């Protein structure tokens, strides 16, 4: 859980150390750290155009005049963790000069990993651009081994876009990544969110505790969807045990968006210690039902209406794996209300809406 600047600022001039320090401050003042958000991650465009004479990565002196280590220190002083971006190619994805990006890690894995460790980096997002058609597993293994060799625990986020089915190999040795992208880049639209959800939800059996399917960062608060759609976005990512990386500008976030991101009951589903991605048990006629077992023995259930019209939806207790003739407590995680019953769900769902329950036996 954390923040990444890309969805809100991309490579604009406002992306700099002052902005990122301000974001870290907002983690505290807005209550995000208390809700479980920990990582403050910076994306592409942080680096200088060229490595130094020794081949070392250098931060852009205009954006980060104090250096990356100083920024990491500031974030750590807030009780937070710091994440950085690179690419498993010769250069990164943002072609701002002579149609090329900033220096990538291909062929520099050991040197770059040592640099990241010396800067006290806690998280590496490793992209897939300009990869010279080198085998994906080979490229991502090289950085994984280099990171481990530093002795510093660095969360390894494989951003391979799903091209080479990283869910088949990225979570296993020798890569053993903490997460891997299962989709292309998300954009701030309902259609994009729905596409990434559908690609990711069917891969539940590849996720294991500590190794997660990643349908890309959150767009909640960026303005391209309604609050109903943003609640669905947050609910679906949470029941899929996906990384929750805020992608909106926390300096200007609106109260309604912040309320979604601070829903601790939904966050608890995402962060449940059992670490199981929810399984889709219904995908029919535009209605999705996803069930996620939780460590305390309860079940999280999301019912999502992807269609453009409101629907009355019924879900039998047996469909979500509950025992017949038993009594259950149904906790609505958005309304924060409780009902009792046989475990079945009957709900009126507006277009694009999701209802989410925590169901436990009484």
Strand 212-214 to strand 179-181: parallel, antiparallel, or no bridges (unpaired)?
parallel
Q: How confident is the model at residue 95 (pLDDT cuts 50, 70, 90)?
A: confident
Catalytic pick from 25, 120, 185, 332?
A: 185
Is the pLDDT score of 100 beyond 80?
no
* Contact (Cβ atoms closer than 8 angstroms) between residue 332 and residue 296: no
Assess whether 185 carries a catalytic annotation: yes
Catalytic pick from 122, 127, 216, 249?
A: 127
Query: Tens digit of pLDDT for each residue in 302-343?
Result: 999 999 999 999 999 999 999 877 899 999 999 999 999 999
Hey, where are the domains in the chain? 2-270, 279-361
Assess whether 285 carries a catalytic annotation: no
- Which ranges of the chain would DSSP assign to H, the alpha helix? 6-9, 17-29, 32-35, 68-77, 109-118, 136-149, 190-201, 227-239, 255-261, 264-270
Query: Tens digit of pLDDT for each residue in 125-165?
Result: 999 999 999 999 999 999 999 999 999 999 999 999 999 99
Which residues face 338 on adjacent strands?
Answer: 331
Geometric angle at alpha carbon 160, from 301 and 48, rounded to 5°: 120
For the chain, what is the total number of helices (H) and then of strands (E)? Answer: 10, 16
pLDDT at residue 99 in the model: 61
Q: In terms of Cα–Cα distance, which of 165, 152, 276, 135 is closest to 211?
A: 276
pLDDT at residue 96 in the model: 60
* Contact (Cβ atoms closer than 8 angstroms) between residue 44 and residue 34: no
Q: Kindly state the tokens that stand for 20.
A: 């990122």
Mean model confidence pLDDT for the chain: 96
Query: Tens digit of pLDDT for each residue in 257-277?
Result: 999 999 999 999 999 999 999
Fold of the CATH domain 279-361: Immunoglobulin-like (2.60.40)
Is the pLDDT score of 173 beyond 70?
yes
Query: Tens digit of pLDDT for each residue in 175-213?
Result: 999 999 999 999 999 999 999 999 999 999 999 999 999
Fold of the CATH domain 2-270: TIM Barrel (3.20.20)
pTM for this one? 0.97
């Amino acid at each position: 859980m954390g923040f990444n600047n890309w969805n809100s600022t991309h490579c604009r001039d406002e992306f700099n150390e002052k902005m990122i320090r301000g974001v870290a401050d907002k983690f505290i003042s807005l209550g995000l750290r208390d809700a479980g958000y920990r990582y403050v991650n910076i994306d592409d465009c942080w680096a200088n155009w060229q490595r130094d004479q020794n081949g070392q990565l250098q931060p852009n002196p205009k954006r980060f005049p104090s250096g990356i280590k100083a920024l990491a220190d500031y974030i750590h002083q807030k009780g937070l963790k710091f994440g950085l971006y690179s690419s498993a190619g010769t250069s990164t994805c943002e072609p701002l000069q002579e149609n090329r990006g900033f220096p990538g890690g291909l062929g520099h894995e050991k040197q770059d990993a040592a640099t990241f460790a010396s800067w006290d980096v806690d998280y590496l997002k490793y992209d897939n651009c300009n990869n010279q058609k080198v085998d994906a597993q080979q490229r991502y293994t090289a950085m994984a081994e280099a990171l481990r060799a530093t002795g510093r625990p660095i969360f390894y986020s494989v951003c391979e876009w799903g091209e080479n089915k990283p869910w088949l190999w990225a979570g296993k040795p020798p890569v053993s990544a903490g997460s891997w992208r299962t989709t292309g880049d998300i954009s701030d639209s309902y259609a994009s969110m729905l596409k990434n959800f559908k690609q990711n939800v069917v891969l539940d059996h590849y996720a294991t505790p500590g190794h997660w399917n990643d349908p890309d960062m959150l767009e909640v608060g960026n303005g391209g969807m309604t609050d109903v759609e943003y609640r669905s976005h947050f609910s679906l990512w949470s029941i899929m045990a996906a990384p929750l990386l805020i992608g909106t500008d926390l300096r200007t976030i609106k109260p309604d968006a912040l309320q979604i991101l601070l829903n601790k009951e939904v966050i608890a589903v995402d962060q449940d210690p059992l670490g199981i991605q929810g399984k889709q048990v219904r995908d029919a006629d535009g209605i999705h039902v996803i069930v996620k077992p939780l460590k305390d023995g309860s079940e999280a259930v999301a019912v999502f209406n992807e269609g453009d019209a409101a629907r009355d939806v019924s879900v039998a207790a047996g469909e979500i794996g509950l025992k017949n003739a038993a009594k259950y407590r149904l906790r609505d995680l958005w309304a924060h209300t409780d009902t009792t019953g046989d475990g079945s769900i009957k709900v009126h769902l507006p277009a694009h809406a999701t209802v989410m329950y925590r169901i436990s036996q009484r």
